[in-house]
Homo-oligomer: A and B are copies of this chain.
Amino acid sequence: MFRLDELVARLGGEVSGDPAVLVRRVATLDQAEEGDLAFLANRKYLSRLQGSGASAIIVAPDARALLNGRSGIVTHDPYLYFARVVQLFNPPPPPRAGIHLLAAVASPLPPSVEVGAGASIEEDVEIGEDVVVGPGCHIGRGARIGRGTRLAARVTIQHGCVLGEDCIIHSGVVVGSDGFGFAREKDGRWVKIPQVGRVVIGNEVEIGANTTIDRGALDDTSIGDGCKLDNQIQIAHNVRIGENTAIAGCVGIAGSTVIGARCMIGGQAGIIGHLSICDDVVVSAGTLVSKSITRPGVYTASLPLQPHAEWVRNFAHLRHLDALVGRVRALENQ
């Protein structure tokens, strides 16, 4: 439970109204009750402010007047402030130091590390202080995991891979599976190219459930500091991603593509292999990136949704677009 003036002392901003108001939880404007701190980050939700049961509301300076006598905190970025308050109210539980009786650990670990039931850690693994290895995780020989990183249940880190500090890796993630590398015989049979690179992941990276990151063929696959990856993303061998890039769910990135810093890749986007995407690029959801991007900006390739019957009428023409252009040219030449 915090008073508004205590929050402001810790996180900045300015109290509007009664500094002694107590809040103990964060909630949306709609759901908030007595004791809750809500936030107004988007003027689209302005109409919900009036009826909200929140004890206090985080608002931007230009919305201060809308508080209309209610208590609140004024800050330039209410959403960022909200994030900080939720962190303050919900600190991660400290590691429960120790190795579960049903875990198999073949490397020496610092005493602060938590290893859950059913986890296995092979030889020559280096693990930092305060790391959590959840139940059923597997960490292969020679892997390194930095201080404070948390692996949820059932994460796989293959041999030799490196994770930085303060990462959060969700359940079902696989780091360091073999890249998809084969040479083809004349008769069509595939000859496996052993994948001998690693995956190297920076600090403060978060990786969502069931995301997969393949190890490099010869060199490494790398994910920069501060990257945030959502669920079910596939990152192929030798991809390199710059700092603080965020990637939404179900994105696939093919081999050897290089992505810059601070990019945002929308859900289900796909990026072809051997491309280069510069810093500060935004790719819209569902877009297939089929060539390199050299200038920051928003890029899109997706279809407008239609009722099925309209789609049938319109889209049949796509197969004859070249002919249509020819017909227009013929008309112009008349």
Cα(A174)–Cα(B324), bound, Å:
47
Q: Please choose the segment from A2-10, A25-33, A62-70 that sits at the chain B interface, where 4 or more of its residues have CB less than 8 A away.
A: A25-33
Residue contact A174 to B177, C-beta cutoff 8 Å: no
- Which residues from 292 to 312 on chain A have a C-beta closer than 8 Å to any C-beta of chain B? 293, 297-308, 310-312
Residue contact A192 to B83, C-beta cutoff 8 Å: yes
In the complex, residue of chain B having the shortest beta-carbon distance to the beta carbon of A250? B252
> What residues on B are CB-neighbors of A270 within 8 Å?
250, 267-268, 285-286
Residue contact B104 to A189, C-beta cutoff 8 Å: no
Residue contact B305 to A291, C-beta cutoff 8 Å: yes
Q: Distance (Å) between the CB of A182 and the closest chain B CB?
A: 6
Q: Please choose the segment from A14-22, A124-132, A204-212 that sits at the chain B interface, where 4 or more of its residues have CB less than 8 A away.
A: A204-212
- Which residues from 152 to 197 on chain A have a C-beta closer than 8 Å to any C-beta of chain B? 152-154, 156, 158, 168, 170-172, 174, 177-178, 180-185, 188-194, 196
> What residues on B are CB-neighbors of A244 within 8 Å?
188-190
A246: CB under 8 A from chain B?
Answer: yes
Known: A285-B270, A288-B285. A135 touches B120 (CB 8 A): yes
> What residues on B are CB-neighbors of A214 within 8 Å?
208-209, 231
